[in-house]
Structure 1
Amino acid sequence: FVSCAGLAVRSPGMRNSAVQESPGRRARVARRFGGGALLLAGILLLAVNLCAAITSLPPIFPELRDVLHISTAEEATLASVPVLCFGLFSGAAAPLSRMLGEERVLGAALALLAGGLLLRSADPPVLLFPGTIVASAAIALMNVLLPSLIKRRRPERAGLLIGLYLLSLSGGAVVGALIAVPVFTAAGAGTAAARLSLGMWALPALLAAAMWLPQLRYRTLPPAPAAGGQRRRGVLAMGRHALAWQVLAFMGLQSLSYYATLSWFPTLFRDRGMSAAAAGGLLALMNLGNAVTALLIPVLAQRARDQRLLAVISMMMTGAGLAGAAFGPLGAAAPLVFLLGLGQGASLGLGIFYTMARAPDPVAAAALSAFAQSGGYLLASTGPLLIGLLHSVTGGWAVPVGALLGVVVLQLITGWLAGRARTVPVPGPVPLAAPEGAGGRRP
């Protein structure tokens, strides 16, 4: 899977079309679908919405806590809700898309996202958590389906579109963190400002939904569930293999580390005397570094004999950036936070690569990706809550940051184990749903 700075989605290359089409018919269908430009605009606007509503809250958590009168424990729970929802609701994407088609589920998810964001802003103390759950469930569905739709609708441009998708996704994360404090301050820093900050991202969601309307005429269906011998390659079957658990642990710990720093580093920097706007800017810088190596590392990993050295390098960058940013001089915070982002993005890129390289074929890779995604998110959801509670109990940041450094050590161990050149043992070859020649060039 790929990520919005730790937010994982299934790789489009890991699933196969349920409909066998000739290259000529596929090309005619691709030309008809949304006119190309409309499809591209819809994809990019949709991707922007996957992260902005999440990264825009941590920079103003202290203000929201004061204005909305929520406790530190409630704040920590709020930070964990999106990640928990990603693990709980991402599995619903496949059955829903088989019933309705991927385009219609994505359109409904955009409407659901806008509704959830408006709901949490309508009466924040009461509807904050229900609205966040609704919005996070919508993001979970879009996370899974959008790359898959790109692969099916425009296979001949899948590589380019995935790259643009990731750039838009990262851009949304950066912008969300960067403008959170200025918007809150400009709106008066009161209850009205809190409602605006909680609900303003409904506008780009509605804009993306309007841009997506032409795609609702089409109904792209994912493959039917595996049958017969392929069941032995299913998601639950991955639990029998130590390598699959190593990949899950590495991906889960990566997301745990990212979401914990995303949620609490702005507060940490403000406790050290930094302004709210500067702390939000550092969060945006971390996301920028994350995007750089998340795109670069899979390319380097593919050229290496195994990925153990890359795992060590990524964890060294993460550990050095984490400790330096938390305890080093504030004057050096910007480069250290960027180094932290580079390390987290590198480990994310490795996790993406592991889900592909540690499976012998696309059928097994899809199962490994789903296994690591669902379990990894559930593991990651404990991160923001745990770090928030540790800070609340100890009253400082030494113990929470020490716990995160312990997570880095565990990542190093699991990354080293998963980095060995092996694959998950599965039964013999199973025919793919569509021959490679019938589906066009693989991205």
Structure 2
Amino acid sequence: SLIAGAGIAIANVLMPAFVKREFSEHPSGILGVYTAALNVGAAAAAGLTVPIGTALALAWRPALAFWVVLAGLGFALWLPILLRSRRLRAARPELSDADQELAAAEDIRGLVLMRSPVARQVTGYLALQSFQFYSYAAWLPTLLGDEGIDANTAGYMLMLSNLTGAAGALVLPVFIKRLRTQRPPVVAVTSFYAVSLLGLLVAPSAGAWVWVCIYGVAQGTGFSLALTLMVLRSPDTAVAARLSGVAQLIGYLVAATGPVLLGVIHDLTGGWEWPIVVLIVLLGPMLWAGLGAGRDILLGDHTDLPGVASTARSTFRA
């Protein structure tokens, strides 16, 4: 589990920088496909592992190991890209010198990155969006179980939420490319979260399938939007990588407290009303951070970032 988690973390951090370098003209589409693949993969693993194990007469460990096939396929798809990059560096040795200069500039950027209001807003949006997702996903089956919905049905609902999340991630780029800023999608994502949470608060069992589907759209679209904001707010690939690393480090540390906090509140109050209210209240600062991060602006624009050396200032503008 630790190794798998490390792989997910590395991929999530590097993907915005890779997209910034290779697909800077249409990053939202690529990141939408990436997020959709994550959701479909999660849904497939959740819904098919047990049937695969049953069909092949496998215990749960070999059934889980079946998914290494997809990991091998992913490695095979990335291998040509890695080889192409190495050939390019061998043919153009001057790139190595440029990389060294860029690394020196990155060290300086790393010290001042979070002085930028835009960087803090991108980080805040990712953190609160992830807080919503992990809190909701961790406790949704238990909440539904307390409402009389059996465990199998609750599991299918969670799988359905991942599939609707994939659909949301694929639809998002269609709207982003028509907009000058990303503020409208931020408002839409927040609205989807609000409708889902209010539905669970008022009618948790009667409309459970509807609330779960709306939640899926919110989380799939929201995560894809958070990654897209990292790319669009960064002036170059190096800043995209640095912002992605810092934002996801802080974001997931904040998100990790969500399931624990909601569990404590549930134990103290004896119900799910107050945990849901907490999630609804946190939509306010998430919306504020998202509206700031969704402006048509690059990191460093209209912001004084003192102490930046000239080598860094040339690409990370203050």
1:259-274 correspondence to structure 2 within 5 Å: 259-274=134-149
CA distance in 1, matches of 2:226, 2:77: 35
Q: Could you tell me how far apart the structure 2 residues matched to 1:341 and 1:425 are?
A: 34
TM-superposition CA deviations, 1:415-443 (whole Å, max 9, x none): 12222222221755449xxxxxxxxxxxx
Show CA shifts across 1:179-220 (max 9, x none). 467789x79xxxxx9xx5466322222663488479879755
Is the counterpart of residue 324 in structure 1 residue 193 in structure 2?
A: no
Equivalence for 2:283: 408
Alignment partners' CA distance in 2, 1:413 and 1:159: 21
8 Å contact kept, 1:301–1:353? no
Amino acid at match of 1:202: A
TM-score, structure 1 length as denominator?
0.56
* Shift of residue 246, structure 1, vs aligned partner: 0.9
Which one-letter code corresponds to 1:342 in the other structure? V
Identity of aligned residues (%): 33
Tell me which of 364, 371, 377 is aligned to 2:239. Answer: 364
2:45 to 159, 176, 196: 176
CA 1:261–1:197: 2 relative to 1, 3 Å: farther
Selected match of 2:183 from 285, 304, 308: 308
1:177-256 equivalences under 5 Å are 177-179=46-48, 196-197=59-60, 200-205=63-68, 208-209=71-72, 212=75, 224=99, 226-232=102-108, 234-256=109-131
Give the drift of 1:344. 2.3
Question: Alpha-carbon deviation of 1:165?
Answer: 5.0
1:141 is aligned to 10
Distance in 1, matches of 2:235 and 2:182, equals 17
Note the aligned Cα RMSD (angstroms).
Answer: 3.7
Contact persistence 1:290–1:344 (CA under 8 A):
yes
Please give the alpha-carbon distance, in whole angstroms, between the structure 1 residues aligned to 2:4 and 2:161.
Answer: 24
Residue pairs, 1:23-422, within 5 angstroms: 132-144=1-13, 165-179=34-48, 196-197=59-60, 200-205=63-68, 208-209=71-72, 212=75, 224=99, 226-232=102-108, 234-328=109-203, 330-422=205-297
Q: How many angstroms does 1:251 deviate by?
A: 0.5
Shift of 1:149: 7.6
CA shift digits 1:265-295 (9 cap, x unpaired) = 0111111000111111111121122222223
Output the CA distance in 2 between the equivalents of 1:347 and 1:164: 13
Distance 1:271 1:410, change over 3 A: same
Change in 2 beyond 3 A, CA 1:335/1:210 = closer
Structure 2: distance between partners of 1:420 and 1:150: 20
The CA distance in 2 between the partners of 1:211 and 1:424, in whole Å, is 32
Q: Classify 1:331/1:178 alpha carbon distance in 2 versus 1 (closer, same or farther; 3 Å).
A: farther
Output the CA distance in 2 between the equivalents of 1:353 and 1:291: 15
C-alpha distance in 2, partners of 1:408/1:154? 31
